[in-house]
Chain A
Amino acid sequence: MSSEQEQESIRCLVAKVGLDGHDRGAHVIARAFRDAGFEVIYSGLHKAPEEIVQAAVQEDVDVLGISILSGAHDTLVPKIMDGLEEYGAAEDTLVLVGGVIPEEDRPELETQGVSAIFGPGTSIEETIEFVRENAPDR
């Protein structure tokens, strides 16, 4: 019977990692994603990279958005990317980083596998549009 209705939805994990306690941005993004019709899993504050990896793998998210405003992105992001790699999830997960990332650190994060970096002043619409266009088709 070919009457199966597909009910696909974009699944996102919005993650706060490390000691950084600024979660307003993550909350705003989580709500905006929800209102855009995505399914959002919010990690909560102060998560270790392993916790983020565990959640991303188990929830099988299409998009992992990491919010970092502490400046620790160059140690935390590689740990998350390695973890995703370990479970074979790095390839088809769209990884985004939001927060305060200096211009000179960006190329390194992109080599690590981060698809886009959204700094201060990025509009919500721009982020949602990017996710819609780039969410992995699988």
Chain B
Amino acid sequence: MNDDDETLLAELLEGRHRALARVISRIENRSPGYRELISELYAHTGEAEVIGITGSPGAGKSTLVDKLAETYRERGETVGVIAIDPSSPFTGGAVLGDRIRMASTVGDMDVFVRSMSARGTLGGLSTATADAVKAMDAFGKDKIIIETVGAGQNEIDIVRTADTVAVLVPPGSGDDVQTLKAGILEIADVFVVNKADRPGADRTVQELREMIELDSGGGFGGGHHGPDSGADGGGSAVATQESREGATEWTPPIVETVATDGTGVDDFIDELAAHREFLVGSGASAEKARQRYAEEIRTLLREDVHAMLEDELEDAGGIDELAAAVADGETDPYTIADEVLAPVADCLEELETRNP
């Protein structure tokens, strides 16, 4: 690490906001030396609670995150928010608009909001997000919230860097709840039916509950079947609380919120805390951390190998030329992949024979 980076790191650990902002830029830009910087950060991490929030566009994620941050601040905790927006795959440009809806905590530097966008490479954003979380953690933030649109595998990878994942479901989703089954159900630790004052909220809660019960092998014990007539914000969550004491399995609770006026936010926070307790109590926390590190190592290796192969591709004539060759019917992608990889495979083979 050079002197500038040493200073930057020292300033970040001291609690200088500008330094934190700059470190995250270095991470995003993948600028020279950023790896050493993150390696240094690792020693100072592990204290923060990381919460991932995802849901379809317009579900109210930014507004809920804003209220969440406000409530944590009232309780005296510092908050970091990473808001992720898609970028145009054509120009690389992006309008990052989540900040507009985060108005409750302005003028309070202890809520550090950072907008990020995918810069081209698939999978790269989850690494950058994980690294930005490390930076905020090392800085000393108590809670770190990652907010992203739950639209695909890329986004799922991102929220998986969190300890606890909340999935927002707007009321009246109807068939959407059905589509949620694929993928989203597995990652949700807490379901939030936001805009719970809208018609159809009860029904959405009901549908979610049925889905969860089916998933957990039919939990008839709770007596939660039939329409929950008196479902008033978060009442259902409290009812299942006791049965979860000392459990080894986590059943995702459903919380009802109205993010615009803050209704249900306290219940939501309680559920997040309960999940955290469960993670620590059941030992799942350590397991989860291990899995996450394994995933980080894999992603990092994949990206590094990919970067090395880019050079190899250049030597082979560049991707455009190779693509043109396929288009002209001269060759096919598999043959090209084999050819490009051949020298790498040879190297590895040679290494193996040398050190058996």
Contacts and interface: CB of A to CB of B under 8 A. Distances in A.
A26 B88 CA distance: 20
A88 B11 CA distance: 12
Contact size range, B = 35 or more
Interface residues of A, number: 36
Consensus secondary structure, chain B interface: mixed
Interface string A39-68: 111111001101100110111100000000
Interface of A: 1, 3-9, 11, 30-31, 33-44, 47-48, 50-51, 54-55, 57-60, 87-89
B56 to A, nearest CB: 22
B28 A7 contact: yes
Given A3-B311, A43-B100, A34 B106 contact: no
A50 B106 contact: yes
B29 A8 contact: yes
A30 B30 contact: no
B88 A34 contact: yes
B294 interface: no
B312 to A, nearest CB: 11
Contacts of B95: 30-31, 34, 40-42
Interface string B97-116: 10110010011110011110
Contacts of A44: 99-100, 103
Closest 6 CB pairs of A and B: A44-B100, A60-B21, A34-B93, A3-B307, A51-B106, A37-B91
Nearest to A4: B30
Contacts of A43: 99-100
Contacts of B124: 7
Contact of A3 (B28, B88, B108, B308): B308
B35 A55 contact: no
